[in-house]
């Protein structure tokens, strides 16, 4: 659940950056979907978080 919230923060951060710079889409490689960065903006924050969680074993040692 924390990863989903971090993904939302990444998406909102990218939106703020685009709004401040006056950019609508990060590119036009994928017409109708924005650009590549529009698809992966949330992953940029979630990936380091998940790497940290898996390397520290926080998910492996947790009892469900």
Q: Contact, 25 vs 34, CB < 8 A? A: yes
The domain locations on the chain are 2-55
Mean pLDDT of 44-58: 85
What is the band of 9 on the pLDDT scale with cuts at 50, 70, 90? very high
Tell me which of 47 and 63 has the higher pLDDT: 47
Q: What's the pLDDT at 24?
A: 73
pLDDT digits (tens, 9 = 90+) for 15-46: 888 888 888 767 666 666 667 777 788 888 89
The helix-helix angle for 2-21 and 43-55 (nearest 10°) equals: 150
């Amino acid at each position: 659940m924390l990863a989903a919230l971090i993904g939302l923060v990444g998406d909102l951060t990218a939106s703020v950056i685009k709004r401040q710079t006056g950019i609508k889409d990060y590119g036009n490689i994928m017409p109708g979907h924005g650009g590549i960065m529009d698809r992966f903006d949330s992953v940029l924050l979630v990936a380091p978080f998940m790497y940290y969680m898996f390397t520290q074993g926080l998910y492996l040692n947790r009892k469900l």
